[in-house]
Amino acid sequence: MIQKLNAEIDRTKIRFRPHFWISDEWFSPDGVPGIAIPFYLLHPRLMELHLKMVGEIEGATAEEVICLLRHELGHAMDNAYGLRRSRERQKYFGKSTTNYLPQYTAIPFDRNYVVHLNGWYAQAHPDEDWAETFAVWMDPQSKWKKKFKNWEAIEKLKFIDRLMKTLKGKKPKVNNRFIVSPFQDMRKSLRSFYKSRLKRNKIEIPLIDIRDFEDIFSRKKRKGERADAFLQEHRVEIVSRVSQWSGHTPLVVSDLLDRILDLLKPTALRVHEAKAKTLANIICYMSVFLVSQMSSKRIAIPA
């Protein structure tokens, strides 16, 4: 994937090559024209452990890896050429000096922002808006001129397109090869690493009303499948689809599903309609709940 990224850079005619190192997260530190790649992608067993502990893997597939690399390249390119100092960039994206909030409010499908990584991450911070927009521009298959033609975000993409043309053939202003938090310097055990990671990612889920489920399931149907058993049976699909639609991580969706299961187990609620319809209804309910009740509770991590 790194070779693929470098080939895409060559296509732009920009004289820049980021350096890479292994760390605990995906990130590109301020002032460093390079990209850190998380250690858990190095081995299938580490990926399996990470999935078990965190509920998702950032970079589980080759497609996800190249998407993340393009995003981080946006940060690295910014560092290499000092692009955040451009007043025109600040006009379109805001100032990099804006503080990162512990959690950010995302407005689903806001056309002022491109959609690239999950969770409408462009809305987290001006620098993430820049990196996400850059990643879309960088993708040779994105067809951004057509896809975002009627979006306000198209002006940001056009700006990046103009800006990148001015960098053709230019050497970076910053070409250090510093590395930050390299894996070999980590002194944490995997146990302590995941303990702190889970604590950081913890999101409080609002209270749920049992009455919300009385239209989806029924107390009158005595022979239908129990509601909690039905949800457990379809857990994998529910978590996957709700995460996709809501933008929240599988871990958050799984926590919400566990809360719902705890609520349903003592009840007599059962499936009373076609299973496909019931499944669609619960996925819709959970997606709407997460978007409406928890839109301000997304973890924002500087990258």
pLDDT tens digit sequence for 227-266: 999 999 999 899 888 887 887 777 788 888 988 998 899 8
Q: Report the pLDDT value the prediction gives residue 11, as an integer from 0 to 100.
A: 93
- Mean pLDDT to the nearest integer, 102-106: 70
CA angle 120, 126, 131 (to 5 degrees): 65
pLDDT at residue 221 tops 70: no
Residues 6+ apart with CB under 8 A from 96: 84, 126, 127
For residue range 18-67, what is the model confidence (pLDDT) as tens digits? Answer: 999 999 889 999 999 999 999 999 999 999 988 887 777 889 899 999 99
Extended beta strands in the chain, E state = 19-23, 34-38, 103-104, 298-299
Is the confidence at residue 89, as pLDDT, over 70? yes
pLDDT of residue 164: 97
In this predicted structure, what is the pLDDT of residue 250?
77
Identify the pLDDT of residue 298. 42
pTM of the predicted protein model: 0.76
Tell me which residue has tokens 């009455």: 211
Kindly tell me if the per-residue pLDDT of 299 is higher than 50: no
Q: What is the DSSP letter of 20?
A: E
Average pLDDT of the segment spanning 198-226:
78
Q: What is the mean pLDDT of residues 127-132?
A: 96
What is the mean predicted confidence (pLDDT) over 181-187? 85
More confident residue, 214 or 22: 22
The arithmetic mean of pLDDT across residues 192-214, rounded, is 76
The pLDDT of residue 293? 67
- Lowest average pLDDT, out of 4-13, 63-72, 243-252, goes to 243-252
Q: Which residues contact 257 (CB under 8 A, 6 or more apart)?
A: 231, 235, 238, 239, 242, 286
When pLDDT is cut at 50, 70 and 90, the band that residue 199 belongs to is low
18 vs 118: CA distance, rounded Å? 24
Q: What's the sign of the alpha-carbon dihedral 105, 49, 240, 203?
A: negative
Q: What is the pLDDT of residue 210?
A: 85
Q: What confidence score (pLDDT) does residue 252 get?
A: 80
**Domain spans in the chain, listed from the N-terminal domain onward:** 2-185, 204-294
Give yes or no for a contact between 197 and 242, defined as CB atoms under 8 angstroms apart: no
What is the mean pLDDT of the segment spanning 140-153?
Answer: 95
